[in-house]
Amino acid sequence: MPPADADNAAARGAVDDSAQAPQRVPQPGVDVPDRRGRTGLDRVGRDLDRNPRVRVRDVRVLTSNWYVTRATTFDFQHADGRWTTEERETYDRGDGATILLYDAERRTVLLTRQFRFPVYVNEHPDGMFIETAAGLLDEDDPETAIRREAEEETGHTVGEVQHVFDVYMSPGSVTEKLHFFAAPYGGGTRSSAGGGLADEGEDIEVLELAFDDALDRIGRDIVDAKTIMLLQWAALRGPFAPTA
């Protein structure tokens, strides 16, 4: 084949190879906005440098349909000095807050009951879960968020709230940090029927229980971690703690 024809054939082959190369599809939440208008979700965690034994290599967004699941590849230095490359999936739903509403004089607490599909899938009898009022921060500060959630779910507008502690609820895979609060309630704090927001699909029942009854239900029909933690705090150090 003459050199000119060979060059033309090579050029045609290059064009054909380029045409057949798969085009990268823009990924929602990374290159283009997802359903919540977010982009750049793959950049979260890349610049972490607080721990010299951890070097983040790559972050991939697996899904951002509502919350965000990421696969992060990082190098980790073990106690014996060895470096290994690890990959972890993390579920990012944002941080949240929860509150125990109590009446110290009447020795009662205000809890909620609602259907929780994830526990229904995992052997809970009916998915109707008893728990303290709680919700995500949604860009509010923790105290503002928990006042909002308390009113939406229980119908009570609380006054001064007490910050109890902050806890990572499932550190093996979930990024969420939960802020715990407590506050008194009574007839004067009632502002609505509560029950949650219908437009968010919430159907919440408000339960007033004797505090001792609530403690007795732990491990039976109260199996929610945040609720158990707040009830035990109330018994040991909170409003129902023994007085000297």
Half-sphere exposure of 39 (CA within 13 A, CB side): 5
d(CA 223, CA 217): 8
Q: What is the pLDDT of residues 155-209, one digit of tens each?
A: 999 999 999 999 999 999 999 999 999 999 998 788 776 777 666 667 899 999 9
pLDDT score recorded for residue 4: 57
Nearest one of 98, 94, 61, 53 to 77, comparing CA atoms = 53
More confident residue, 206 or 13: 206
Rounded to two decimals, the pTM is 0.86
Encode pLDDT of 60-119 as tens digits.
999 998 999 999 999 999 999 999 999 999 999 999 999 999 999 999 999 999 999 999
* Torsion over CA: 97, 132, 151, 185 (sign): negative
Q: Delineate the domains of the chain, giving CATH numbers in brackets.
A: 41-92 (no CATH), 96-236 (3.90.79.10)
Q: Which residues define the annotated binding site for Mg(2+)?
A: 134, 149, 153, 202
Q: Which residues are annotated as a binding site?
A: 134, 149, 153, 202
Query: How confident is the model over 37-62, as a mean pLDDT?
Result: 96
3-state SS assignment for residue 130: strand
